[in-house]
Structure 1
């Protein structure tokens, strides 16, 4: 057990990392909620407004891998401070112009700047949280992400009705600048460099980290030649297919397919977001418990991901066939909660697989998520248009996502992607149900034996 430890690592995650992710989601959602008001006031066409909304996601996707690499090279402190300042300034600048080109440009820069948030946060989490607590750390990070949609829409709508849409961008932009300044003064890229940390906590964090090595050149090129790198991206694409239903079409589905009023829809549409918010905390605690009990990264990640994919897909399909609105909402909550379980495991696995390349790994994963956020809503809309059935569209999305469960059988998060480049397989470590901290490798003897057995094959794949 830990003694004389102030648990600064959890204060860093909960009070610095997660709030920046939360304000990022506020900024991202603000334009979508304010779009009808802005379009009417400025006389923009539906095409122009759609371009303003979608350019954000293209810039966000393109910036993922470069932003991840920057976080690895220069540290999360500098990268996240600089980019949060830039995106907050873009929020403040948005109401200053009234032309299509001005709004388009502000959203373009906003998307590019915010692409650094998640990869920088993952790198920060990897450096501050030992392997035995990584799932709980990712749960806190995801909670900040999922809290945004719960709060942003009603807060933005209330602010617009009381003070106008300009106040939304000014308020959120000012909040971002404040949190960015707090981040700069409160965060350090290494735990040992923080003035408030205790020696005991530094040693505890260090004991749960894999050994650091100098990153080899051409890491991304070598990753691109590995089939597990591609499998990991595709499985996340499939996961976000389901999540994109909740972020885009859920309100429309509840009103058009289920006949809910606008007021009732507002209540019911928020319940799945509450469910996923709660689920990520449960998932983090459960995955870390499995890791302590089994001592195996594989057993702590893969079964949770496979089960989550299957439960989410089946519950979504069942919701499309349910008769009562109570059953529909209950199944939708179950489906999205299962997505939360997979999300926690996915972002823990990016650190397991990537090690010191976690920034690039998280950027790569987010690229696939951004692509799915475009492809998912379009696919569902196309199926609904052809079949005239929302249920058919939901079943197609669910069936495709269920394939992610199969892909997870080949992910093997206990085997770092570039272990050849970082000094070979990790040393085996004894772990068990009573272990307080996972050792430097964060894997059990079973995982280490699997790693040794596969080393020759992967070395050959890396050329």
Structure 2
């Protein structure tokens, strides 16, 4: 496959770097601020640890179970309308978090925040499908992922600084207003169809059209198509592999700080620095892999070669270095292994969101929502499962081994996905 020379200046890349990247970053801050503020809120309102766990997980449940409806709405309404309304909704409930004073109040508010954010990811991936030719989608998705993963790196220290200077409520005010402003900018500058954008050039339109999927021929798919997806084993394999990926990723997002302090004897100060290092590796890796995958696709013209080897290898590497790191007593070497492990998760993440457009075609939003449902369902259950295993066995080795085995299952599932065969192309057969 010969790669077409890209236009020097592209509206599509400006949309990604100047709107989607900061919008996604602010969305991640809306999640981080509750985690950081939780000890202060718990103390102020005299909540028990169990009550705080209900508050902290209430977002995850609505966010997970509304992923598919959010994807369907992004297809029906278009990403411009869906993401703008979703953004204004979650920004409002971010601000309204400040009026919470009871467990039920906080649970309800955070649950409603999850309702809004459920449409963000499907709408964002759907917009990438419309604005980017196939050989640029991995890089575009890496920008989207970069905005999300920047949150764990600088979100905590930024939120702490705001809380210490102004109080915990001001973090919610600031992030809520910033999110609403980004939503308004999205409405002003984004268009669902590139040809409708007033600033786009004929050269860029031609570039996008030249690398567009021939299978995407309609604006939206019907409910019959959704039924065929459900009966397709590749659709299930694609969703389940993300469930297994987030099992291993949730160790780093939820339990790594506790593991470093309880199992490895880190101080609180050193833990804060060390626990951010794997996220730096993940942040860098998604950009590296995005560019690498696009190179492979441009050279080979094969989505199978550009996605599956990266995803399968990422699962195996993530599992291997998680186990190796947990067995090493030398601190810096242990952290290096954990950085490689979470960095390898980035190899899978880039593959997943690019494959959503490869498989989904007109139903990219639905396929994205399907995958993200399984991932967030895993994110809600995984930390609880890990806590139970650690409590029963009094060590971390068993739970980490289970995560590693799950990752190997995820690698095997990628052999069934076949990104080079769009699900819509097999509408006449449920055994595609």
TM-score where L is the length of structure 1 = 0.90
Superposed counterparts of 1:229-308, under 5 Å:
229-308=235-314
CA offsets per residue over residues 386-439 of structure 1, 9 Å max, x none? Answer: 222212321221121111111111110000112144xxxxxxxxxxxxxxxxxx
Q: How big is each residue's C-alpha offset from its partner over 1:6-41, in whole Å with a ceiling of 9 and x where there is no partner? A: 211111111111221111110011111101101111
SS at structure 1 position matched to 2:119:
helix
1:20 correspondence with 2:6: no
Q: CA deviation at 1:70?
A: 0.5
Greater alpha carbon shift after TM alignment, 118-127 vs 92-101: 92-101
- In 2: Cα distance, 1:386 partner to 1:41 partner: 32
Q: Aligned pair in 2 of structure 1 residues 153, 358: CA closer, same or farther (>3 Å)?
A: same
Q: Distance in 1 between matches of 2:9 and 2:354?
A: 24
**Do the aligned partners of 1:25 and 1:148 also contact (CA within 8 Å) in 2?**
yes
**Corresponding residue for residue 202 of structure 2:** 199
Q: CA deviation at 1:185?
A: 0.7
User: What displacement does 1:460 show?
Assistant: 4.9
Once the two structures are overlaid, the 10-residue window that deviates more, 53-62 or 208-217, is 208-217
The question of 1:316 aligning with 2:319 is answered no
Deviation at 1:48, TM superposition (A): 2.3
The answer to whether the Cα contact below 8 Å between 2:97 and 2:109 also exists between their aligned partners in 1 is yes
Whether 2:217 is the aligned partner of 1:213: answer yes
- Matching residue of 2:429: 459
Q: 1:28-57 CA deviation, whole Å, 9 max, x = no partner?
A: 111111011011112223232221111110
Distance 2:312 2:110 in 1: 36
* 2:274 aligned counterpart, secondary structure: helix
Paired with 2:88 and 2:6, the residues of 1 have a C-alpha distance of 38
> Could you report, residue by residue, the CA deviation over 1:255-307 in whole angstroms, capped at 9, with x for unpaired residues?
11110100100111110000000000110011111111211111111111111
Distance 2:39 2:119 in 1: 28
Superposition deviation, residue 213 in structure 1: 2.7
Kept in 2: contact 1:14–1:140 (CA 8 A): yes
Deviation by residue 1:31-90 (Cα, 9 ceiling, x = unmatched): 111011011112223232221111110000111001100101111111111110011111
For residues 257 and 80 of structure 2, what CA distance do their matches in structure 1 show?
Answer: 38
1:155 counterpart residue number: 158
Show the counterpart of 1:390.
396
1:168-214 residue CA offsets vs partner (Å, 9 max, x unmatched) = 11011111111111111111111111111101101110111123333
Structure 2 residue 99 is the aligned partner of structure 1 residue 129: no
The residue number in structure 1 matching 2:56 is 53
Structure 1 CA distance for aligned equivalents of residues 193 and 414 of structure 2? 32
Is the Cα contact below 8 Å between 2:71 and 2:369 reproduced in 1? Answer: yes
2:304 touches 2:418 (CA, 8 Å); kept in 1? Answer: yes
Counterpart in the other structure of 1:437: none
TM-score normalized with structure 2 length: 0.96
Structure 1: unaligned runs, 5 residues or longer: 422-457
Q: How does 1:44-193 map to 2 (within 5 A)?
A: 44-193=47-196
The aligned counterpart of 1:342 is 348
Structure 1 Cα separation of the partners of residues 304 and 327 of structure 2: 35
State the match for 1:431 in structure 2.
none
Alpha-carbon distance between aligned partners in 2 of 1:97 and 1:381, rounded to the nearest angstrom = 28
Aligned to 1:425: none
Distance apart, 1:95 and its partner CA:
1.0
Q: Return the offset for 1:5.
A: 4.5
1: distance between equivalents of 2:135 and 2:362?
17
- For the pair shown, which has the larger CA radius of gyration, 1 or 2? 1
Give the whole-Å Cα distance in 2 for the aligned partners of 1:96 and 1:385. 36
* CA distance, structure 1, for counterparts of residue 128 and residue 411 of structure 2: 26
Preserved contact between residue 320 and residue 395 of structure 1 (Cα < 8 Å): no
Tell me the SS of whatever aligns to 1:461.
coil
| C-alpha contact (below 8 Å) 2:63/2:114 kept by paired residues | yes
Q: Distance in 2 between matches of 1:361 and 1:460?
A: 16
Unaligned stretches of 5+ in structure 2? none
CA distance in 2, matches of 1:93, 1:398: 40
Distance 2:104 2:264 in 1: 39
- Superposition RMSD on alpha carbons, in Å? 1.4
Q: Could you tell me how far apart the structure 1 residues matched to 2:350 and 2:196 are? A: 28
Distance 2:107 2:409 in 1: 37
